[in-house]
Amino acid sequence: MDYLSNRVAISVQDWVTSATEEWFSQHPLMAWGIDHPLWTVGVILLVIFLCWGFLKAIAQLIERVWLLIFQFPLRLSQWLFRSLFNLYRRKPLVDSEGEESGDRLTVILQRLDRLRQEQDQLLEEVKTLLSSK
C-alpha cells in the first residue's frame, strides 16, 4: 500500500510540475516575475501608484465637471444681468449721440483749419528760403 501511495504522489507531482512548466513556457513574464521577486514587488508597487494617480486624476476631472455644471446657472444669470445692465446704461448715450457727433465735427474742422494754416506758413518759409538762394 505504501508503494501505491508513493507512486500516486510521484505521478501527481510529475503532472503538476509538467503543467506548471508548460504554463510558464506559455507565460514567460510570469516566470520572470517568480525568478526575480524584488523586481516584481517594485513593478507591482509602481503599477499601484500609477493606477492610484490615474484614479485621482479622474476624480479631479469629475469634480471639476460637476462644479462647472453647478456653476453654469449662476454664471448664466450673471451674464444676463450684466448684459441687461449694459443695455440700459448705453441707452441714454444713444440719445445724445447726435449732439456729440456735431461737437466732434466742430473739433475736426477746427483742427483741419489749424493744419491748413500751418501748411501755409511752411510754404511761405520754403518760398523765402528758395528766393534767398
18 and 36 part of one domain: yes
**Reported pTM:** 0.43
70 and 57 part of one domain: yes
Give the pLDDT confidence score for residue 94 in this predicted structure: 42
State the Cα–Cα distance between residues 82 and 85, nearest whole angstrom: 5
**Domains held by the chain: number:** 2
> What are 30-58's pLDDT values in tens digits?
888 888 999 999 999 999 999 999 999 99
List own/partner pairs for 73-80 with CB under 8 A and 24 or more apart. Answer: none
65 and 117 part of one domain: no
Give the pLDDT confidence score for residue 91 in this predicted structure: 54
The amino acid at residue 70 is F
Give the pLDDT confidence score for residue 97 in this predicted structure: 54
CA dihedral of residues 26, 29, 31, 37 (deg, nearest 10): -170
29 and 73 part of one domain: yes
87 and 102 part of one domain: no
Asked if residue 29 has pLDDT above 60, the reply is yes
Percent of the chain, pLDDT > 70? 92
Could you list the residue range(s) of the whole structural domain that residue 86 is in? 2-96
Percent of the chain, pLDDT > 90? 59
